[in-house]
A and B are shown apart, each in its own frame.
Chain A
Amino acid sequence: MINSSLKQLSSQLAAKKISSVELTQLYLDRINTLNPELNAFITLNAASSLAQASAADDRLAQGQAEVLTGIPFAQKDIFCAKGWRTTCGSKMLETFIAPYDAHVISQFNNAGAVNLGKTNMDEFAMGSSNETSYYGPVKNPWNRKAVPGGSSGGTAAAVAARLCAAATGTDTGGSIRQPAALCGISGLKPTYGVVSRYGMIAFASSLDQAGPMARSAEDLALMLNVMAGFDERDSTSLQRDKEDYARNLEQPLKGLRIGLPKEFFGEGLSSDVGNAVETAIAEYKKLGATIVDISLPNSRLSIPVYYVLAPAEASSNLSRFDGVRYGHRAAEYNDLTEMYEKSRSEGFGVEVKRRIMIGTYVLSHGYYDAYYLKAQKIRRLIAQDFVEAYKHCDVIMGPTSPTTAFNLGEKGDDPVQMYLSDIYTIAVNLAGLPGMSIPCGFGSNGMPVGLQIIGNYFDEARMLNVAHQYQLATDWHTRQPGGI
């Protein structure tokens, strides 16, 4: 059961071979057994999950089920879910009970899906290892000494350890793709604007995008069908016709042009990851694809540009945490300024404070042109590289992360070393393109390697087709960690 696809679970539920309550209880039991060690969940609410499951069973009995009705999903703790504690991985929101549903949560609720719990994450999604969570680090199910990646590390670990059927993530600089790669699962960040950001706690609003994380491309397609869609409550939500993201899954890949950016295969890429990715490319050739050498000359600038733009937007977004309307308030203070300063200093962790400080500095008087505006200009150059590349290819492929999962504590106190682990993912966010990661092998330490597939704007259906065909021909995505 725990290795069934969403489609299989859906037919089992429809055929009454299992009820949603039984399925939900099965996952809750697995969470009770495995979560104390993995720490993939921050908040569980079994009564609420089972009530939803029971309602789903009624809906199934009445013949009003949709594809995801009755299936238990975990939700990243960045999404407000009415009545659920929603912490965003921060002490700041330790006691915050969301008074409303994020659009993504409503979409799952309307589809009759079960919310199994809220997954652990880097604080305010700022991190690449899940070590910045106030609720403790998540362990990688493949090796409990290793990080699961971040920021959607709890989701990635929960999916890899079969603690849920699938789950949601968000991706500002690689936060879906990098943990998917490090935990050996599939994850998709859609084109910016495809999934509403309403009720998703904001980090860097011009980059944040929610997406599905699952065990196969087919599962991702079924989830994206539910998650995507116009929402007037998000000013950057795009008005587009509804599409079926699973419509192209079965198409053959003959004639597919795969662009390989030379910048993604150079210095900094560990050889075991490089080898696994090259083997995957060879498999694609067998499936009928042709290879095109391309260049993304400005992609090397994506890290400096990102570490200006994302902190700038974060410093503005996080100014709402002032200890007045919600969130942590210090116990003692003499005046309003001291209340702000103490509440924020106590409520935010080190990495979040660091990024607020960087953002505040680059936006401060006299530095705006040199940093923020300059970064926005280079952002356009980075996006233009992709526009040029897509004149010659249909999808772009490369590694998701330069290495497999590193050990907890390994990157120590050097934020720059941590930032470099997102070297291949950030340019995609800056350009607003869709990107995904699928498992394509293992590194020399036995840890999973992710293949990154980058599509043109709104080309999610083709990317899912490209990933699905690979998953029909290989079995990397079906491998599971030992001891789960």
Chain B
Amino acid sequence: MPLSTEDVKKVARLARLAMSETEIQAAHAQMSSIFGLIEEMQAVDTNGIEPMAHAQDLAQRLREDVVSEVNQRELFQSVAPQVERGLYLVPQVIE
């Protein structure tokens, strides 16, 4: 299924990437060439094959539901672009 420039624009929107028309065109050409490579997969018969998500097929480890971290809010917020009174600031989303 060939990729259209509309697909590329949609993907850029989903991925929250602002792209100019020139960037979209370049991305379209390169993604098309990469998908040309990826399409080789479609010729492989995978009927009855279980998908492999991880190298070791282990069940996720569980732990007791107890507090494991100490509060380091100030340290963690020291690397934030904009904070005020312990809160992360973003543009207004609710009127």
Tell me the count of chain B residues lying within 8 A, CB to CB, of chain A: 50
Q: Given A339-B90, A344-B16, A361-B11, verify A432-B31 contact (CB < 8 Å).
A: no
Which residues of A293-345 have CB atoms within 8 Å of chain B's CB atoms? 298, 301, 303-305, 307-308, 315, 319, 322-329, 333-342, 344-345
Contact of A105 with B by CB under 8 A = no
Query: B31 near A361 (CB under 8 angstroms)?
Result: yes
Q: How many A-B residue pairs have CB under 8 A?
A: 165
Of A58-66, A263-271, A369-377, the stretch lying at the interface with chain B is: A369-377
> CA A371 – CA B41 in complex, angstroms?
8
Contact of B66 with A by CB under 8 A = no
Q: Given A206-B54, A238-B56, A307-B37, verify A381-B81 contact (CB < 8 Å).
A: no
Query: B79 near A96 (CB under 8 angstroms)?
Result: yes
Q: How far is the CB of B27 from chain A (nearest CB, A)?
A: 6
Query: A364 near B14 (CB under 8 angstroms)?
Result: yes
> CA A64 – CA B60 in complex, angstroms?
38
Contact of B67 with A by CB under 8 A = no
Query: A374 near B16 (CB under 8 angstroms)?
Result: no
The 8 A CB mask of B35-66 against A (1 = contact, 0 = none) is 11111111010100111111110101101000
> CA A376 – CA B54 in complex, angstroms?
9
Of A33-41, A107-115, A350-358, the stretch lying at the interface with chain B is: A350-358
Q: How far is the CB of A339 from chain B (nearest CB, A)?
A: 6
Residues on the A chain within 8 Å of B90, using CB: 324, 336, 339
**Chain B interface, DSSP helix/strand/loop, else mixed:** loop
Residues on the A chain within 8 Å of B27, using CB: 353-354, 357
The 8 A CB mask of A424-441 against B (1 = contact, 0 = none) is 000000011100000000
Q: How far is the CB of B78 from chain A (nearest CB, A)?
A: 7
Query: A301 near B52 (CB under 8 angstroms)?
Result: no
Residues on the B chain within 8 Å of A193, using CB: 55-56
Query: A341 near B18 (CB under 8 angstroms)?
Result: yes
Which residues of B57-85 have CB atoms within 8 Å of chain A's CB atoms? 58, 60-61, 63, 72, 75-76, 78-82
> CA A449 – CA B14 in complex, angstroms?
42
Query: B18 near A342 (CB under 8 angstroms)?
Result: yes
Of A121-129, A153-161, A249-257, A413-421, the stretch lying at the interface with chain B is: A413-421
Choice from A308, A324, A381 contacting B46 with Cβ under 8 Å: A381
Which residues of B2-32 have CB atoms within 8 Å of chain A's CB atoms? 3, 7-8, 11-12, 14-19, 27, 30-31
Residues on the B chain within 8 Å of A99, using CB: 72, 75-76, 78-79
Contact of A232 with B by CB under 8 A = yes
8 interchain residue pairs of minimum CB distance: A432-B55, A376-B51, A329-B81, A192-B55, A377-B46, A341-B18, A380-B52, A377-B49
